[in-house]
Amino acid sequence: MKKFVQTLKFINLKTIYFNLKYLPFKQALKLPVLISKNVYLKEVSGEIHFDCPIRFGLIQIGYGNVGIFDKKRSRTIWDVSGNVTFRGFGTIGHGSKIMVASGGSLIFGDKLKISAEASFIVYNKIQIGYNCYMAWETLLMDTDFHKIKNENGEIINNPKPIIIGDYVWIGCKCIILKGAVIPNNTVIAINSLVNKELTEENCLYAGSPVKCIKEKISWVD
C-alpha cells in the first residue's frame, strides 16, 4: 500500500500527456517518463526513443532537491522538436532546460544523473555515455546560434557534435561547447570550459579551456 501511494504522487496530467504524446498507447500506459508539475512543456513535438526495456519511472524529469535552489520555483523547460533517445535509467533534476531543435539529436546513456539547473541546447548532436553525473548549472551547447562568415562568405562556425564518454563526472557551472569530446573515466572540475577534443582517459581536467592536471585518477559515484 505504501509503495502504491508513493507511485501515485508521480502521476499527474503532465506525465500522462507527455507519455501519450510521444509513445504508442501500450508503452505510454507504463508511464516510463515522469514529469514534475514544475516542468514547462514549451514544445512537445519531435520524437523520443528508448534503446532499453520500458518500465514505469525509467526517466524522471524536474524532480530532486538541491539545497541551494528553491525547487518550488526552479522551473524545468522541455522545448523539443528534434529527437531524444534514452538508453536506460535517468534523472534530470529540477530547473533543467532541454532544447532540441528540429534535426537535432540528444542521446542520454543509462544511469544518467543531472542534479539541477543544467541546460542542453542541441542543433546538431549531443551524446552522453553510461553512468555520467552532472552537477548543477552545467551548460552544453553544440551551436553558436549566430553565423560567422569568412571573407568568401563561407560559414565558419557551423554546429558540431558534443560527445561525452562513459563514467564522466562534470562539476558544477561547467560549459561544454560544440566539438567537445570528453573521454571515458574522467572528471571535469568546477567552472571549467571544454571546447575541444580531450584524448586522455582517467584524468582530472580543469581550467578555461581545460587541461589535464592529474592523471591516473578514478572517481566514486
Q: What is the pLDDT of residue 70?
A: 87
Average pLDDT rounded to a whole number, residues 133-154: 94
Q: What is the pLDDT of residue 9?
A: 65
Q: What is the pLDDT of residue 95?
A: 96
Distance CA(110)–CA(143), nearest Å, equals 25
Q: What is the pLDDT of residue 26?
A: 95
Residue 149 has pLDDT above 60, yes or no: yes
Q: What is the mean pLDDT of the chain?
A: 94
Which residues are CB-neighbours of 144 under 8 A, at least 6 positions away?
157, 159, 178
Q: Which domains does the chain have, with CATH numbers?
A: 2-215 (2.160.10.10)
Residue 5 has pLDDT above 60, yes or no: no
160 pLDDT band (50/70/90 cuts)? Answer: very high
What percent of the chain lies above the pLDDT cut of 90?
85
Strand ranges across the sheet with 119-122: 39-44, 76-80, 97-100, 119-122, 139-141, 175-177, 193-194
Task: Please state which of the ranges 52-61, 101-110, 151-160 shows the lowest mean pLDDT.
Answer: 151-160
Q: What is the pLDDT of residue 8?
A: 58
Write down the pTM of the prediction.
0.93
Question: Alpha carbon 76 to chain centroid distance?
Answer: 12
Distance CA(165)–CA(185), nearest Å, equals 8
Distance CA(199)–CA(36), nearest Å, equals 38
193 pLDDT band (50/70/90 cuts)? Answer: very high
Residue 2 has pLDDT above 60, yes or no: no
4 pLDDT band (50/70/90 cuts)? Answer: very low
CB 107 within 8 A of CB 70: no
Tell me the one-letter amino acid at 205. Answer: Y
